[in-house]
Amino acid sequence: MQRKVIVITGASAGIGAAVARRLGKDGHALVLAARREHELKAVTSSAARDAVAVPTDVTRRADVERLRDRAIDAFGRVDVWINNAGRGITRPVLELTDEDFDGMMQVNVKSALYGMQAIVPHFMERGDGHLINVSSFLGRVPIATHRSAYNAAKAALNALTANLRVDVKKTHPNVEISLVMPGMVKTEFAEHALWSRGGGSIPWTSSSAPPTPASAVQTAEQVAEVIAELIASPAAEVYTNPASRDMAIRYVQDVAAFEAGMAGA
């Protein structure tokens, strides 16, 4: 594969770090972004010899635009931009505060919007490029209701991605816009979710999601492999776990029956 210049946000841990290391093995030029500078630099040094670390708060538009500029300054262009940064929450809908909801939208939707608005014009000017938004299966199917505002934010990201793709394809058919929807992934995500035992001062104690078979839980490296394949062969949407796609289809086919089953009716 031709060497590409790839920007990855949320690259200091989890899926972002795994994607960086996987793409580094393919010889791509990497520009990695995250707030945690120490962890980011550790991933950068392990991903590729010439990878560039750019400490970035993606909830600030100016930071995201600076990230784009640093990537172009370093490598002359950007070929692929992966909006991966995000954070979860462990709180049901009726317990959400304004701050909870606004925070989820800021981290999971507005940060990606800033990335889209920063890089897609660059792609359109070049007539080529690939935007990848990392969303979640939970934005499609309500099997983890304790994630509430996170799920809502990912549903909003799904819609923004689809609308952008339709708009861009009208005039720039060689610019790819992709949505990646992981299911359950073994990372630090749950520990760092707002109001989880690791991510907030008060543990959330209400009922949790239905048990998930161990076979349905993916590693960050498995998700990274799917994203590497997506870069090689672009597609509009991809579920990293085929079981998630099958469940989403069942949900859409009969929402009432699916949700009745969830409720034990």
What string of DSSP letters covers 18-59? HHHHHHHHTT-EEEEEES-HHHHHHHHHHH-TT-EEEE--TT
For position 74, what pLDDT does the model report? 97
The Cα–Cα gap between 56 and 9 comes to 8
92 burial (CB, 10 Å; 0-12 / 13-18 / 19+) is: middle
Instruction: Write down the H helix ranges in the chain.
Output: 14-25, 37-47, 61-75, 98-105, 111-126, 148-171, 189-192, 220-232, 242-253, 255-263
For position 217, what pLDDT does the model report? 84
Q: Parse the chain into domains and list their residue ranges.
A: 5-263
For position 208, what pLDDT does the model report? 39
Protein fold of 5-263: Rossmann fold (3.40.50)
**Annotated active-site residue in 114, 150, 239, 251:** 150
Cβ atoms of 226 and 135 closer than 8 Å: no
Active site residue 114: no
The Cα–Cα gap between 117 and 139 comes to 22
For position 203, what pLDDT does the model report? 33
Contacts of 246 (CB under 8 A, 6+ apart): none
The stretches in the chain having pLDDT less than 70 are 1, 187-215, 265
For position 213, what pLDDT does the model report? 46
For position 265, what pLDDT does the model report? 53
Q: What are phi and psi of 9, to 5 degrees?
A: -95, 160
The Cα–Cα gap between 166 and 139 comes to 20
